[in-house]
Homo-oligomer: A and B are copies of this chain.
Amino acid sequence: MAADHQKNSPPDYSAPDPDFEARGRASFAKQTMMATLGAEILTVRPGHVEIAMPFGAHILQQHGFVHAAALTAIVDTACGFAAMSMMPKGAGVLTTEFKMNLMSPGKGERFVAVGRVVKPGRQLMVTLGECFAEEAGKRKLITLMTATMMVMNTPGIVD
């Protein structure tokens, strides 16, 4: 999955709104779903956001692994905030679609979602999201997401 082209010309995004990090963290704090999952933001860079979530007994599926939807929650949010970091001041973000490939079960002590902007469009942004399971000091890629984020410019609809 190493992107050769990226090695030659890595995305060097700059955020249109200098307050992008504070804005992203404030928006995250409003998501009660994140608190329910015990998730926290690790990193906010232009076009790149990382979110961590501990294993929790209250978010499991029938085999005792973390539910795919809990992993979806942090990856979608990481992708959404990565997109928001590339939007002008005042714009809100809305996920229009995502697709998750679940490659290995949600087994681990902690899960780290990494969301990146692949295409920062004016109306739509395409993002790539990965989720890693951490266990005994090791990291394993367990899910892969692509998602489309919409730029919402209507005040009042979003914040």
* A interface with B by C-beta (< 8 Å): 1-7, 10-11, 27-28, 30-33, 35-36, 57-63, 67-70, 72-73, 76-77, 92, 94-104, 114, 116, 118-119, 121, 123-124, 126, 128, 130, 132, 139, 141, 144, 146, 148, 150, 157-159
Contacts and interface: CB of A to CB of B under 8 A. Distances in A.
B62 A130 contact: no
B61 A5 contact: no
A103 B76 contact: no
B146 A148 contact: no
B67 A1 contact: no
Nearest to A119: B103
A147 to B, nearest CB: 9
